[in-house]
Structure formats: structure tokens, C-alpha cells
């Protein structure tokens, strides 16, 4: 069990289970005591999810499953009418292809469309937004000032970058706030993303780095996991057993880092005995330049994250 940003997180079986400690954040993003949980407050809010694709769908399903928002107070949009009908039937919420209609009367707008069409969508919904409407964007590479320029009216904006691990409640999200967003808006966003994992507040200048590391990172981790599983097969293990061993090993190693707070290098040294088998394996990793390759992958993904907004 580990406490993080107000959540008490227990890693158990396939999922991360969480319960909320009654906390909030102050103007500097620090956690402070609060007798009312934000989760309770959100049930009375009207939520509009624009772009209910992969990430938007993951978040919306989690919110509905956990009762964070009432289905009657949720609207969502997708690009095609056929998908809208199917999603409405699956989730029990109003789904359409009309963004402005979905946003009408919403307290929170979760912007999940692709970066390339954010400007177009903002222009469409701007007349429905006001100072009391919180816009939360999960569109990679789109800065808060870009959104603010398109919506005007001192609309509070929070930028967030979650990852797909949110689907099993073990996501990681970085958030930052725009010019007109206050501590209460940051608290609302934190509660929404804490519901699917963990949340950290960062300076906006670091949001592309969050994208490159924790948002793109699961794909890198899956390649490493797949390689471990293949290695197990190579040395004689059945594929299902090898995959289980590799996946649980990676989950366990990550849990030790989170729960102990120890530097990964110290934990690595604790496993590595003199003249043992682990040091021979580490030597192969170093000769194969695994460390620098992973660093370069994150750097490349970070740079790419900053380019997406400007592509058509």
C-alpha cells in the first residue's frame, strides 16, 4: 500500500485499488486537509466529453464505473453517428456528433479530440463556454494559452496528459493550469485523474516531457516486457508462464520503487550479488546500450509531442 496525492493505493491482483483521503490542494498545488471530498462534489456536475475515442473512452468508462459522475449528467461526442448510437447504448449516456450541443450547460468540458482539430472544435463550442465552465484538455502538445485564445471570456483551462494504463486504474497523469484556473479547478482535475491512477502537478513547460515519458512510456515498457517474455521462451519456459513471470516482475519492481522511495540504482544493486548471474545480464544490457536507447526514445517522443499541434 502506498499513499500518494491523497489516494491510498493498494496493488492487488490485476488492478490498483484506491480510496480517497479527504484532502484538497492549495494555490501552490500542495495537498491540504479538507473534510469534503472532491469526488462527492463531482456527482452534481455536468460533464461533456468531446472526442470519446481511445483515451476519452477510457476516462469516461472509469468515471461512470466509479460513480464519479451521474450518467444523467454526462454527454459525449464522437465523429460518426453509428459509433454514437453504439456508445450511448453501452454507457447509458447521451452521445452525439454535435460538440456545441453536448457542451451546452456543462460545468466541465473534457477535451479529448486530436491536437490537429482542437482549434476547430474550440471555435465551435466557444459560445457555450463561460467563466464557470472548466475546460480540461488531454490533447497532446496543445498549450493552455492556445485554448484560452480560442475560447476567451476568462475560461479556466487545465491541461492534462494521462496514459492508457488508466484503463485498469493504474494510470499516470501530469496536469498544469492555465492563466484563469485557480486552486479549485486544479483540485477538480486532480480528482478526476486520481480516479484512474495517480496525478502530479507540473509546470506547463514540462508537459511535453510528461507526454514523452509517462504517456508514450507504456508502449516502450510493453516492448521490454515482450522481450523478457521472448527471453523466457528462449531459455525453455512456456510462453504463458514466461509472460506472467515477466509482467509480474515488472509490476513488482515498479511497486518497490513507489512504496520504498529508494533510487532504482540502489534497488538494482540489492539484487546484484558479486560474481552472480544478474551482473552478467546487466553487462549484456550495458553492451547493448539499453539505457541510452531508452533515454533517446523518451527524448525523441518529447520533441515529437511538441509538433503535433502544427500538423494537419
Examine the fold and report which residue of 144, 170, 204 is the final residue of a domain before the chain moves on.
Answer: 204
pLDDT of residue 21: 42
Same domain, 150 and 230: no
Task: Name the pLDDT band for 311 (thresholds 50, 70, 90).
Answer: low
**pLDDT per position as a tens digit, 283-297:** 999 999 999 999 999
Q: Is 171 exposed, middle or buried (0-12, 13-18, 19+ CB in 10 A)?
A: buried
Q: Residue 32: its pLDDT value, please?
A: 46
pLDDT at position 35 is 31
Stretch 200-218: mean pLDDT: 97
User: Does 167 fall in a domain?
Assistant: yes
Residue 5, pLDDT score: 42
184 Cβ contact list (under 8 Å, min separation 6) = none
pLDDT in the model for residue 194: 94
Residue 132 lies in a domain: yes
Q: What is the CATH number of the domain that holds 57?
A: 3.40.50.720
* Domain hosting residue 248, numbered range: 217-305
Other beta carbons within 10 angstroms of residue 71's beta carbon come to 12
Distance CA 86, CA 268 (A): 48
Q: Are residues 119 and 35 in the same domain?
A: yes
Q: Is residue 210 a part of any domain in this protein?
A: no
* 34 and 141 assigned to the same domain: yes
Confidence of residue 203 (pLDDT cuts 50, 70, 90): very high
Asked whether residue 174 carries a pLDDT value surpassing 70, the answer given is yes
The reported pLDDT for the residue numbered 9 is 44
Over the stretch 74-86, which tens digit does the pLDDT of each residue have? Answer: 999 999 999 999 9
Helix axes 118-125, 144-151, angle to 10 degrees: 30
| Letter string b/e over residues 11-32, b meaning 16 or more CB atoms within 10 A of that residue's CB | beeeebebeeeebbbeeebeee
Cα Dmax for the chain: 69
The predicted structure's pLDDT at residue 18 = 46
Residues 146, 268 within the same domain = no
In contact, 242 and 232? CB cutoff 8 Å: yes
Residue 311 lies in a domain: no
Q: What is the pLDDT of residue 20?
A: 41
Q: What is the chain's mean pLDDT, rounded?
A: 89
Whether residue 61 is found in the same domain as residue 193: yes
Q: How far is the first Cα of the chain from the last one, in angstroms, to the nearest whole number?
A: 45
61 lies in the same domain as 140: yes
pLDDT at 170: 95
- State the pLDDT at residue 22: 44
Please state the rounded mean pLDDT for residues 34-50.
77
Of 204, 239, 272, the residue at which a domain comes to its end is: 204
Last residue of a domain, one of 150, 174, 204: 204
297 or 28: which leads in pLDDT: 297
Residues 285, 196: one domain? Answer: no
- Cβ atoms of 93 and 75 within 8 Å: the answer is yes
Tell me if 233 is assigned to some domain.
yes
pLDDT at 307: 87
Amino acid at each position: 500500500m502506498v499513499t500518494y496525492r491523497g489516494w491510498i493505493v493498494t496493488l492487488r491482483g490485476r488492478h490498483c485499488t484506491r480510496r480517497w483521503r479527504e484532502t484538497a490542494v492549495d494555490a501552490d498545488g500542495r495537498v491540504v486537509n479538507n473534510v469534503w471530498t472532491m469526488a462527492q462534489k463531482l456527482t452534481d456536475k455536468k460533464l461533456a466529453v468531446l472526442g470519446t475515442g481511445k483515451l476519452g473512452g477510457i476516462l469516461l468508462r472509469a468515471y461512470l464505473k466509479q460513480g464519479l459522475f451521474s450518467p444523467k449528467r454526462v454527454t459525449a461526442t464522437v465523429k460518426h453517428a453509428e459509433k454514437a448510437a453504439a456508445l450511448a447504448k453501452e454507457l447509458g449516456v447521451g452521445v452525439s456528433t454535435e460538440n456545441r450541443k453536448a457542451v451546452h450547460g456543462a460545468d466541465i468540458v473534457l477535451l479529448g479530440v486530436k491536437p490537429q482539430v482542437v482549434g476547430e472544435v474550440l471555435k465551435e463550442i466557444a459560445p457555450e463556454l463561460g467563466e464557470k465552465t472548466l475546460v480540461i484538455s488531454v490533447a497532446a502538445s496543445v498549450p493552455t494559452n492556445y485554448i484560452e485564445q480560442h475560447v476567451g471570456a476568462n475560461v479556466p483551462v487545465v491541461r492534462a496528459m494521462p496514459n492508457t494504463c488508466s484503463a485498469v486504474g493504474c494510470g499516470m497523469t501530469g496536469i498544469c493550469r492555465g492563466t484563469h484556473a485557480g486552486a479549485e479547478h486544479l483540485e477538480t482535475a486532480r480528482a478526476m485523474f486520481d480516479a484512474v491512477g495517480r496525478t502530479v502537478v507540473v509546470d506547463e513547460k514540462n508537459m511535453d516531457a510528461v507526454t514523452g515519458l509517462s504517456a508514450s512510456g507504456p508502449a516502450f515498457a510493453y516492448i521490454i516486457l515482450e522481450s523478457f517474455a521472448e527471453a523466457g521462451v528462449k531459455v525453455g519456459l512456456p510462453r504463458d508462464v514466461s509472460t506472467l513471470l515477466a509482467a509480474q516482475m515488472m509490476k513488482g519492481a515498479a511497486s518497490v520503487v513507489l512504496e520504498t522511495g529508494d533510487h532504482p540504482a540502489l534497488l538494482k544493486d540489492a539484487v546484484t550479488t558479486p560474481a552472480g548471474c544478474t551482473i552478467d545480464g546487466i553487462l549484456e544490457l550495458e553492451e547493448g546500450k539499453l539505457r541510452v536507447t531508452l533515454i533517446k526514445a523518451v527524448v525523441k517522443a518529447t520533441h515529437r509531442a511538441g509538433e503535433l499541434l502544427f500538423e494537419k
